[in-house]
């Protein structure tokens, strides 16, 4: 579902998005939970790990690829709790949100145009 979402992005985004790794895990790794000061792994459905495109430099020496992480159990729980959205739409939403970070958008900028939680 996440790969289909990326493939459906407009061409100017799909190309650069193709260089990002998509990883799906049941829950966020402990290191992410600690870095974000989260106690409940169900609070995190996705995460972008990397350097946003506007901040990249040709002088950068990447140590690992930019990665969009999707966390299966939190996504599934949110899908069940909502009951008013398809699983595909929810996965697409989380995927697009995390790729927006790759393109340099902050959470506040994303929230200004995506009122998903309402």
Contact present, 25 and 76 (Cβ < 8 Å) = no
Using CB atoms within 10 A of its CB, is residue 96 exposed (0-12), middle (13-18) or buried (19+)? Answer: buried
Reported as a single tens digit per residue, the pLDDT across 73-107 is 999 999 999 999 999 999 999 999 999 999 998 88
- CA-to-CA distance for 21 and 34, rounded, in angstroms? 22
Whether 41 contacts 74, CB under 8 Å: yes
pLDDT of residue 98: 94
Predicted local confidence at residue 70, as pLDDT: 98
pLDDT category at 118 given cuts 50, 70, 90 is low
Q: How far apart are CA 92 and CA 73, in angstroms?
A: 15
CATH code: domain 2-51+65-113 is 3.30.2010.20
Q: What is the pLDDT of residues 41-59, one digit of tens each?
A: 999 999 999 988 888 877 7
């Amino acid at each position: 579902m996440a790969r289909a979402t990326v493939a459906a992005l407009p061409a100017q985004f799909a190309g650069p998005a193709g260089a990002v790794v998509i990883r799906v895990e049941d829950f966020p790794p402990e290191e992410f939970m600690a870095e974000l000061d989260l106690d409940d792994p169900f609070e995190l459905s996705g995460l972008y790990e990397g350097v946003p495109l506007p901040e990249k430099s040709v002088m950068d020496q990447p140590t690992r690829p930019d990665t969009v992480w999707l966390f299966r159990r939190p996504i599934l729980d949110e899908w069940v709790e909502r009951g008013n959205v398809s699983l595909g739409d929810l996965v697409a939403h989380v995927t697009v949100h995390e790729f927006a970070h790759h393109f340099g958008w902050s959470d506040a900028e994303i929230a200004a145009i995506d009122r998903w939680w309402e």
